[in-house]
Amino acid sequence: MHRWAVSRRIWNRCLLGRCGFNRWIKAGLLLLLFGWGPLLLVLLASWLGLWQNLDPVVGLGLLFVVTLIPALACLGIGLLQTWMSKSE
């Protein structure tokens, strides 16, 4: 069996592999990456002791809050669309 066939079978077992990536899911994942990523990186760095001053976390927390609802909405719409298209 080819190597790509095994990896394709593993990918198809996961949720996103089965439902595919449409524009809404890509937009939601980008909002997660750029909206939540900086805050999570700073929190990880402070947990590891690399970041001592947590003052800029307020701005990153606001970025997290502003991107929370749109990211979840985009992911929800994308998953609903792909679920509806697969059931037809």
Whether 32 is in a domain gets the answer yes
Whether 28 is in a domain gets the answer yes
Range of the domain at 74: 21-87
Whether 1 is in a domain gets the answer no
- Mind listing the pLDDT tens digit for each residue in 25-69? 989 999 999 999 998 898 888 889 888 877 767 888 889 999 999
Whether 36 is in a domain gets the answer yes
Q: What is the pLDDT of residue 12?
A: 55
Rounded to an integer, the average pLDDT of 63-79 is 93
**Stated pTM of the model:** 0.66
Q: What is the pLDDT of residue 88?
A: 64
User: CB count, 10 Å around CB of 55?
Assistant: 6
d(CA 79, CA 26): 11
Nearest to 42 by CA among 30, 29, 33, 54: 54
How many domains are there within the chain?
Answer: 1
